[in-house]
Amino acid sequence: MNAVLNILPQEFEYIRENHKKWELSDILFNNFKDGYKGISLLLRTEKAEKFTKTHKNLKNFNINGIEILDIKNYKYNLEIWTYRNSLNGLHFSGINTNILNLNENSMKLTKLEISEVKTVNPDKEIVLKILKGVAKSQLEKLDIEETIGIEIGNKIYYTIVDYKDGNYIGITKCKDVYRLKHDDLETEKLIYEKVTDFLNKFSGKKNELDHYFE
């Protein structure tokens, strides 16, 4: 996968950086009904140090315009799939050989085309259920659109405020509120037992949260 990442222009450096923060859980080799073949990467992050810092305006998009040869020098088109600004899979069109016969060192750029993929953020749906009944004016204080679920130990924290530098305010399904600091010995720290108490005190100005991250 490094060869795929390394061929991308400098404008996609954030994809390379984000990919370093994820651990590869599994690789799936897919045969699609349209005759295409692909590789899907199952990614996971388990440690707080691996919070993705480049998560503002997270997008899912495809990058087209890369050629790759097989061992017989037949040419194919390679499409890169991304999920939340990280490499998520590879898609090969018009391929009639085993993916393992492709020569990753033969890749070259042609004319890159980017197509955004519209998807539903499942973590956002979970957060909205947790915050069901909360007034719209209070929801507008939060960074819910790009919320992510972060697993620390056996517990999942859903980010509701992006503080800065990969640090967050997060909530659990039990509606308690935590400070999540990625470079601290105490990664997660309970700051409110009720999310309503936090929302009543937080005006939306992030400098009000400074003391939690000192």
Give the confidence band of 47 by pLDDT, cuts at 50, 70, 90: very low
Give the count of beta carbons closer than 10 Å to the beta carbon of residue 133.
5
Domain co-membership, 12 together with 101: yes
Looking at the structure, tell me whether residues 110 and 145 fall in a common domain: no
Q: Do 100 and 132 sit in the same domain of this protein?
A: no
Same domain membership, residue 207 and residue 101: no
Indicate the residue among 96, 116, 136 that finishes a domain. 116
Judge if 138 and 178 occupy the same domain. Answer: yes
Q: Is the pLDDT of residue 51 over 50?
A: no
| Angle (CA) 91 93 98, round 5° | 80
Note the pLDDT of residue 31: 66
Domain boundary among 77, 101, 116: 116
Q: Are residues 143 and 53 in the same domain?
A: no
Name the domain count of the chain: 2
Backbone torsion region of residue 112, taken as left when φ is above 0, otherwise alpha when ψ lies between -120 and 50, otherwise beta? beta
Distance, in Å, from the CA atom of 177 to the CA atom of 103, rounded to the nearest integer, reads 49
Spatial distance between the Cα atoms of 67 and 92, rounded to a whole number of angstroms: 10
Position 139 scores a pLDDT of 94
Nearest CA to 42 out of 89, 6, 99, 100 is that of: 89
Residue 54 has pLDDT above 70, yes or no: no
86's CB contacts (< 8 A; 6+ apart) are: 15, 18, 19, 22, 43, 52
Q: Which one of 38-47, 76-85, 87-96 scores highest in mean pLDDT? A: 76-85
Percentage of the residues of the chain whose pLDDT score is greater than 90 = 36
**Are 67 and 29 contained in the same domain?**
yes
The answer on 66 and 15 residing in a single domain is: yes
Where a domain ends, among 116, 142, 171?
116
Same domain, 105 and 138: no
Give me the mean pLDDT over the 113-132 stretch.
87
**Tokens 């659109």, residue located:** 145
What is the Cα 200 distance to its own chain's centre? 30
Model pTM score: 0.54
Task: State whether 128 and 199 are in the same domain.
Answer: yes
- Its domain, for residue 61, covers 2-116
Long-range contacts of 98-105 (CB under 8 A, 24+ apart): 99/29, 99/37, 99/39, 101/70, 101/71, 101/72, 102/68, 102/69, 102/70, 102/71, 102/76, 103/68, 103/69, 103/70, 103/71, 104/3, 104/4, 104/68, 105/3
**92 and 22, same structural domain?**
yes
Burial environment of residue 83 by CB neighbours within 10 A (0 to 12, 13 to 18, 19 or more): middle
Q: What pLDDT score was predicted for residue 138?
A: 94
Q: Could you tell me if 94 and 142 lie in one domain?
A: no
